[in-house]
A and B are shown apart, each in its own frame.
Chain A
Amino acid sequence: MGELQKNTRFEHLLRLADTNLILGHRMSEWIGKSPILEEELALTNIGLDLIGQARALYEHAVAVSGEEDNRDADDLVFLRDAPEYKNLLLVERENGDFAHTMVRQMFYSAFAVPVWEALTRSVDSEVAGIAGRAEKESLYHLRHASEWILRMGDGTEESHQRVQDAVDALWMYTGEMFDMDEVETAAFEAGHGVDLTAVRSEWEKTVREVLTAATLDYPEDCWMLKGGRTGKHTEHLGHLLSDMQFLQRAYPGQKW
């Protein structure tokens, strides 16, 4: 097990942090728009968990990158443009209707649970600590989204159609999660990362169970889009950033 290069380690942390931040931000966009009042609390809870995970990872990434990089966690969030963001494409997709949001959440959480579980054994004790908490939070997110998918899938004709549409529309963004590129491979080999090909089978099993219980069709194999982890995003991310980063961009260098 070799030592992981500092910039690869930083990049690996950034990917995890960005994915959680962007999905957490998407949850905050639901505020005031949730289908029932109780869901306002649930969606915000998920958002707070995800942004909290991201914040811990950014702070760690800043520490890892050391003195020559004087950016802090907020700089990473509010002052990077889309190509520098390394989140998964899946999580930047617009919220759409409640079915889209819940399917996106289920797809991601079914991935996040085994990833965090594996990261509890990371040689980076800071990451292992973050992963321990995050795994529990992600399990709850998975359960929450799965319960809703069950109700929508096995609910009315309209809800069944909406949730099936969401599954089909988001499917092409799921393959990227398991892609072992150079960074992921190096991180895994150095004991910092996760064997994502192994995560894949667990993810497929979870997703198949949820969809089957919800009387939904498991999609056929299709061409999978990727690029998020290397900064090649969909059109949706730029708009999210222009909203999220507005104050820091309009009034640079201020304390808030």
Chain B
Amino acid sequence: MYSQGLMGVEETPGGEQDLLDRFQARIDAGEKIEPNDEMPEAYRKTLIRQMSQHAHSEIVGVYPEANWVTRAPTLRRKLQAMAKIQDEFGHGLYIYSAAETLGVSREEMVGQLLSGKAKYSSVFNYPTLNWADLAVIGWLGDGAAIMNQIPLCRCSYGPYARAMVLVCKEESFHQRQGYEAMVALMNGSPEQKAMGQDAVNRWWWPIMMMFGPHDADSPNTETGVKWKIKNFTNDELRQKFIKATVPQAKLIGIEIPDPDLRFNEETGDWEHGEIDWDEFWSVVKGQGPCNHDRITARRKAHAEGAWVLEAAQAYAAKQAARNAA
């Protein structure tokens, strides 16, 4: 999801067979793995990759919403937008802190984000062009994220699972606030309805892509499931999401922009049109409409804040010296 089926993971389980077997037995027995426990190197690396991509997505995911936060049209929407964005920064920090228990520093992870080496969810590389985009990000974007995050509360790595419990508890209002704002638009003027539909038209496919490549093209899924750091496959999650979303859209008069979307009575599943994977991979690799803007915004905050951090470091050093004297 936010790690999109682990973009760019190459590690395959290797190393000592004994360790792998011992480890797998613990996982299969439903045991949680804690930071200092013995674990295969590939498990540790995969988790670091997944958790840092997840944390980066929370942080970068702020920017599309921040683009509209100062223009929120009522006090109620203003407060809810600020509170939601604030939560997302908090969630990024929870997940960074959980990842640090695996022996990687936040500085290292943030450095990889700023250098462009680390990935984050491709969905945040699309622009927010009208107010309804904020509503759609909450309704559909957070709706898609919840599909993934709830099962992650039971993932095998203790600190990640615990961070996800905090995240899920706090996020329960995010999707609702988005849908509520969407309902208000769809009950509004023709212009407001057009805003709502336009936003869904632009976000539907990027959100479908959030779940990552089809299972057949996602070789890491099997390992993730085996190690219980991924409890459902990409296609399973996408299916759950469509199932939940279609009736919500219908209720408020939103048309889902996929002419091939239809319910298959036999399988009980929704069939959807083909996802443009060329577009997906281009965005993942940096060619999306906003990749440059998002990273530039992050780098700018980092660079312009450097003197503040230096001041706090200098002060802490002086205080330590004064206390020692």
* A98 close to B305 (CB less than 8 A): yes
* A31 close to B82 (CB less than 8 A): yes
Contact string against B for A residues 92-123, beta-carbon threshold 8 Å, 1 for contact and 0 otherwise: 00000110000000000000000000000000
Q: Say yes or no: is B85 at the interface (Cβ < 8 Å to chain A).
A: yes
CB distance from B246 to the nearest CB of A (A): 25
* A154 close to B188 (CB less than 8 A): no
**Contacting chain B: which of A136-144, A204-212, A243-251?**
A243-251
Count of inter-chain pairs, beta carbons less than 8 A = 131
Name B89's closest neighbour in chain A (CB-CB).
A40
> A interface, how many residues as a size bin?
35 or more
> Which residues in A have their C-beta under 8 angstroms from that of B315?
150-151, 154-155
**C-alpha spacing A152/B314, complex, angstroms:** 9
User: How many residues of B are counted as interface, with CB atoms below 8 angstroms from the partner's CB atoms?
Assistant: 47
* B301 close to A52 (CB less than 8 A): no
> Which residues in B have their C-beta under 8 angstroms from that of A67?
none
B187 contact from A58, A243, A255, Cβ within 8 A:
A255
Q: Say yes or no: is A156 at the interface (Cβ < 8 Å to chain B).
A: yes
Q: Say yes or no: is B112 at the interface (Cβ < 8 Å to chain A).
A: no
CB distance from B146 to the nearest CB of A (A): 22
Q: With A150-B315, A255-B187, A256-B181 in contact, is A34–B301 under 8 Å at CB? A: yes
B62 contact from A32, A97, A150, Cβ within 8 A:
A32
* B86 close to A44 (CB less than 8 A): yes
Nearest 8 CB-CB pairings of A with B: A35-B305, A155-B311, A159-B311, A35-B308, A247-B73, A256-B73, A44-B86, A151-B315
Q: A25-B70, A34-B301, A158-B307 are in contact. List 7 more A-B contacts (CB 8 A).
A: A32-B62, A35-B305, A51-B79, A151-B312, A152-B308, A156-B307, A159-B314
What are 19 A-B pairs with beta-carbon distances under 8 A? A28-B82, A32-B301, A37-B92, A40-B62, A45-B86, A47-B82, A48-B86, A52-B79, A54-B75, A55-B75, A74-B74, A74-B75, A151-B311, A151-B315, A154-B315, A155-B312, A159-B307, A247-B131, A254-B191
